[in-house]
Chains A and B, each alone.
Chain A
Amino acid sequence: ELKVEQNPLFLSMQEGKNYTIYCNYSTTSDRLYWYRQDPGKSLESLFVLLSNGAVKQEGRLMASLDTKARLSTLHITAAVHDLSATYFCAVSNYGGSQGNLIFGKGTKLSVKP
């Protein structure tokens, strides 16, 4: 059974600081997704990581995937208040006919001045 663990679950940061969110998963998968969710809103796709060693960057966010370690990271550089949200990683359970997303519990990020 595929399980996805994120840590930390809560993260309070100061503006301008750097931090990393970790996403570990339990079985082999080569597809990992990062989403952002603002309160009361839907999920917004941030990154799609499809292979070992994949690295993608958008603004102050950078995501990477190490399939051998079953680990993805979401690195935040010089945080700003607008990044406050809940971030989810999700791994495709590709053992079936079509990968279903298995989600971590999310990391609630709060960026303070």
Chain B
Amino acid sequence: NAGVTQTPKFQVLKTGQSMTLQCAQDMNHEYMSWYRQDPGMGLRLIHYSVGAGITDQGEVPNGYNVSRSTTEDFPLRLLSAAPSQTSVYFCASSWTGARYGYTFGSGTRLTVV
């Protein structure tokens, strides 16, 4: 099993550009989520989904958009990149209830200039 796959691993964007961070899992997990990690801040939840067709906002959703058309995929869209969105982004997934924990992807390091 590949687990949780994130692409790309690194990206540099100019202010105002848009892009999509990809996240795919092959474990048939119902729950998927996006976090951003900034120095000294821990990880903060951006958006999450409890199943195909269902998404909701987390702690820091502004400037990001998500959709969940399939169980496997949960892309994160940056609508108009800003330097404040420079961060490391992690996708995570779990079975409902998370009794076995959450599986994290390898991360995407994004720099907005």
Contacts and interface: CB of A to CB of B under 8 A. Distances in A.
Interface residues of B, number: 27
Contacts of B30: 98
Chain B residues touching A, majority SS:
loop
A50 B99 contact: yes
Contact of A98 (B31, B40, B41): B31
B90 A98 contact: no
B43 A88 contact: yes
Interface in B42-89: 42-45, 48, 50, 58
A41 B105 CA distance: 10
A104 B44 CA distance: 10
Report whether over half of chain A's contact residues are helix, strand or loop; otherwise say mixed: strand
A25 interface: no
Contacts of B97: 98-99
Given A31-B98, A97-B50, A100-B33, A88 B104 contact: no
Interface in A38-78: 41-43, 45, 48, 50
Contact of B48 (A43, A92, A98): A98
B106 A98 contact: no
A65 B30 CA distance: 26
A101 B92 contact: yes
